[in-house]
Structure 1
Amino acid sequence: MIKKAVIPAAGFGTRFLPATKSQPKEMLPIIDTPTIQYVVQEAVDSGIEEILIITGKGKRAIIDHFDRNFELEQRLLEKQEEALYQQIRQISDMANIYYVHQKELNGLGDAVSYGKQFTGNEPFAVLLGDTVMESVIPVTQQLIDIYNQYEGMVIAVEPVPQDKVNRYGIVGGRAIIDSIMEIDQLIEKPELGEAPSNLAIAGRYILTPEIYESIKITPKKKNNEVQLTDAMVNLLGKKKFYSCTIEGKRHDIGSKLDFLKTNIEFALKRKEFAKPLLEYLTQLLEEKKG
């Protein structure tokens, strides 16, 4: 049973400066909910009971968000804001959340290595803190189901346009069923025409303890960082890897444009915003055409 998850959330978020100068990018809200809360909720909905968040400099707001705020709770009770009070309490009760500080920003592989003592000899999930998954069955649960069936490490993937494969880590291998592949290739940002497929790594993983030793011997490459993909490549042929083509939609909050799109899409799914926002967007488009 997989009951532990590691969420790397230590990056500077330079693409969102100056907003992220004093605020973690993982705390940027999708309407009124911080991005990382969606990530934690996905883990909890997948049966995860204990979560380790890898933080870095200036990430105190993440810790504060999942901690209790007694003064705020008391104020909400005094104002008889029962619904808001319950919502705020639920955040601090979501899971047992722990934190560790990544001393230097040495890449995703290095960040994951900080989970070694936390996960011990157990398999564990990794969820990137700036990627939100929208799905009926939580994506992490989809990966856990495959791990339970095949007992190998599992990587979430999604199809991308063939002319954009050079922007992603790409997997290749033998199809088992439509959504599951046994992986024999992992290539980080392959040249066009050299990619083994159009299936890109999508920010969710089920890993086993062997990954830690592999990270340890993986050399730093681009930007002097240790990449998780390189550490997984070291284990190909020694350990089984599977890919799961996700059932759902990935929202990457790593760019400003994708962040804006995600907010609009989520707002259009909320009853209080859908109609007035759609009317506004329609009016705006008409004005732009004119």
Structure 2
Amino acid sequence: MHKPVKKAVFPVAGLGTRLLPATKVMPKEMLTIVDRPLIQMAVEEAREAGIEEFIFVTNDGKEALMQHFQDAPLLMDTLHKRKKLDQIAKINQVDLPSSALKAVKQAQPLGLGHAVWCAKHLVGDEPFAVILADDTVLGPTSCLTQMMAAYHTTGGNIIASCEVPMEETSKYGVFKLAGRDGNILNVAGLVEKPAPDVAPSNMTIFGRYILQPEIFAYLDQHETGAGGEIQLTDAMAKLINDQPFYGYVFEGERLDCGSEIGFVKAQIAFALKKPHLAAEIISYMSEKLKENIL
């Protein structure tokens, strides 16, 4: 029986520079996909997967992230007076118990590995998940739920994975593979953003992780890697020598909501899943396609 994963770390201290000027004041994670902020989608995914404690690694100017999951008495009072029952139900789904929501500041943007390290004292000696809110999956089952099912079988450390064209490996962390069994990859090594001619594969890291607490022994060293940052990939590459490590090829469409094109694709993809929007969107897109063709 593998120790259950009940805590998740959300690194949300980044500046979101790829989406400026939208993110100048608004945290990237508060940008909405149709009617839900990215951070809400990430937290909902974690809850569905059985997570009970939510740890935000945040920074100055990100107060809205915590506030989104806390009580809003004035808003709720107004909604009750106006008998907006549907809206009240939506708000109630968002709120988290104060005991379940934790925050720690990442004072300097020193990389994803550093962000995860900042949560060390809140994670403690337990396995934990890491969720990058701007990486989103559209599928029948959430990415982390799929990974949890695999974890119950394999234990160890599991990283979500997806295949990319070989020429794009320099954008991602890449797996060196020792074998594959269905959706589960046996990982022999990790390389951060390798050039296509030296990449060990085209199976890349996606922003969902299940990690054992021993990762902190390597993050404690604060060694810098690609971009002069403390890379989570580098710490995981060392942990591979000590513990079982797997990639999990999830089912669903990957959407990088931290880029302009990914953000637009996500709006369309998720809107098309809403029955009250789909028909009108399809009609509108068909008209626009005809205009562009002509």
Give TM-score scaled by structure 2 length: 0.95
C-alpha contact 1:68 1:89 (8 A) present in aligned 2: no
- SS of the residue 2:54 aligns to: strand
Residue type of the alignment partner of 2:251: E
Q: Partners in 2 of 1:287 and 1:144 — Cα distance?
A: 46
Aligned to 1:114: 118
Aligned to 1:190: 194
Structure 1, residues 61-120: CA drift from partner, whole Å, max 9, x if none?
Answer: 101111110000010010110110111122113782211111111100000012211111
Aligned to 1:268: 272
1:218 CA drift (Å): 4.2
Aligned to 2:9: 6
Q: Gaps (5+ residues) in structure 1?
A: none
Q: Gaps (5+ residues) in structure 2?
A: none
C-alpha contact 1:9 1:130 (8 A) present in aligned 2: no
Segments of 4+ moved more than 4 angstroms: none
Q: Which of the numbers 135, 138, 145 marks the counterpart of 1:131?
A: 135
C-alpha contact 2:160 2:206 (8 A) present in aligned 1: yes
- SS of the residue 2:220 aligns to: helix
Q: Which of the numbers 48, 54, 59 marks the counterpart of 2:57?
A: 54
Q: Partners in 1 of 2:44 and 2:265 — Cα distance?
A: 21
Residue correspondence of structure 1 range 121-270 to structure 2 within 5 A: 121-270=125-274
Aligned to 1:92: 95
Residue type of the alignment partner of 1:185: G
Residue type of the alignment partner of 1:69: A
Give TM-score scaled by structure 1 length: 0.96
Aligned to 2:42: 39
- Percent same amino acid at aligned positions? 39
Q: Given the superposition, is the C-alpha separation of residues 272 and 205 from structure 1 closer, same or farther in structure 2, using an over 3 Å criterion?
A: same
Q: Which moved more, 1:123-132 or 1:41-50?
A: 123-132
C-alpha contact 1:155 1:206 (8 A) present in aligned 2: yes
Q: Which moved more, 1:85-94 or 1:223-232?
A: 85-94
- SS of the residue 1:53 aligns to: strand
C-alpha contact 2:225 2:234 (8 A) present in aligned 1: no
1:56 CA drift (Å): 1.2
C-alpha contact 2:114 2:222 (8 A) present in aligned 1: no
RMSD: 1.4
Q: Partners in 1 of 2:284 and 2:150 — Cα distance?
A: 43
1:234 CA drift (Å): 1.8
Query: What is the total number of aligned residue pairs between the two structures?
Result: 290
Aligned to 1:23: 26
Structure 1, residues 20-71: CA drift from partner, whole Å, max 9, x if none?
Answer: 1111000000011101111000000001111101111210110111111000
Structure 1, residues 219-274: CA drift from partner, whole Å, max 9, x if none?
Answer: 12344310100111122222211111111222211101110111011111111211
Q: Which moved more, 1:276-285 or 1:188-197?
A: 188-197
Q: Partners in 2 of 1:90 and 1:277 — Cα distance?
A: 27
Q: Partners in 2 of 1:216 and 1:128 — Cα distance?
A: 21
Residue type of the alignment partner of 2:90: Q
1:145 CA drift (Å): 2.5
